[in-house]
Structure 1
């Protein structure tokens, strides 16, 4: 098995978009449905993945690849880049903006905020996620940051256990409206880890 970690590329935008959408637990669909009439959420997200100065840009991603297949992904950026833009405010309904504003304005100070952390189903439990977490820690250190932070669905018990095992502690809870597009009805946790 020959595994490589490398920066994501814009040509991979379709696959990267699918991974982010899958990992979001319905949040991408909830937030982006109806933002642009007659445009599906994945197309809006994909436009952000290929936009170089977007938070969701491929430039903010590291992928893990085996034999040409993406088997792991981290989408992350420094905490002070995670803010709700005027554009976000303009296009989202008041209820959706309230949810997004809380999430976007909450990253832990001096942290690399991990927006998306994903490992292919067939590689889960094999130790790849542990290595990917080490990659995130090194990425943070290379930017002069001393912490990692992230949001995770409270009901995603496997992920919460994984992050806890890696030294993350819960720092905040975000309630979410009950909505058919959201896979979890339990809200989100904000978790943070101090780097040694």
Structure 2
């Protein structure tokens, strides 16, 4: 198994995994937005570019040794990159529907935007390796926490992240939509980016909940 930054020529493959990780989010945002371009193709354009959160520079991939195919990806970047409403990355009307998710973020953390592994490769530790990459990236950039959003009705994913030390911070009330059929909104989860033992992580997670009253958990961001 090889882990590395994706090549530009792999942008479309990375896009497919990010779309898969979104649980319908990116189809909702990007399908039919630009004539003749799918959500995967629009994401691939962003991935092949520099200076945006989806950039290949913010991604890490697992590659099959046998055939060189990508079998897992992670996309992680500082959450504060999402605080600029002028980047034009998200379409206005569709972004408005997910406004609660864009407003409920753990500012000052590393944000794990996507983590996905090919169905055929589950159980091989690939997801854990990619998650560890995101934690290392957070530490390298001096960010004290790793955060993420997960659909409230995606119970297996929520249990997986809880087992890795994440705690629920808040719930973004995203209303169900015919093209985004999730119930219960989206849960913001966060954990320390330190590589402490499990016991220390639990203690840190308890203290993290106390930060709900602190400025780093801002839910009053301007429109994006």
TM-score band, normalised by the shorter chain?
0.7 to 0.9
For 1:17, the equivalent position in structure 2 comes to 15
For 1:175, the equivalent position in structure 2 comes to 173
For 1:122, the equivalent position in structure 2 comes to 120
Spell out the pairing of 1:17-166 with structure 2 (5 A cutoff).
Answer: 17-67=15-65, 68-86=68-86, 88=88, 91-93=91-93, 96-166=94-164
Q: Distance in 1 between matches of 2:90 and 2:148?
A: 25
Offset of 1:92 from its aligned partner? 2.1
Q: Distance in 2 between matches of 1:22 and 1:183?
A: 15
Question: Structure 2 vs 1, CA of residues 176 and 104 (structure 1 numbering), >3 Å: closer, same or farther?
Answer: closer
Q: Give the count of matched residue pairs.
A: 192
Question: Structure 2 vs 1, CA of residues 181 and 7 (structure 1 numbering), >3 Å: closer, same or farther?
Answer: same
Q: Taking structure 2 as the reference length, what is the TM-score of the superposition?
A: 0.78
Q: Residues 84 and 101 of structure 1 are in contact (CA less than 8 Å); yes or no, is this contact kept in structure 2? A: no
Q: Taking structure 1 as the reference length, what is the TM-score of the superposition?
A: 0.88
Q: Distance in 2 between matches of 1:69 and 1:31?
A: 27
Question: Structure 2 vs 1, CA of residues 109 and 194 (structure 1 numbering), >3 Å: closer, same or farther?
Answer: same
Question: Structure 2 vs 1, CA of residues 121 and 164 (structure 1 numbering), >3 Å: closer, same or farther?
Answer: same
Moved over 3 A (4+): 87-91, 99-102
Look up the SS of the partner of 1:54 in the other structure: coil
Tell me the alpha carbon deviations over residues 41-83 of structure 1, each in whole angstroms, 9 at most, x when there is no partner.
2222222111211211111101111211212211010121123
Q: Distance in 2 between matches of 1:27 and 1:105?
A: 16
CA RMSD of aligned residues (A): 2.0
Unaligned ranges ≥5, structure 2: 195-224
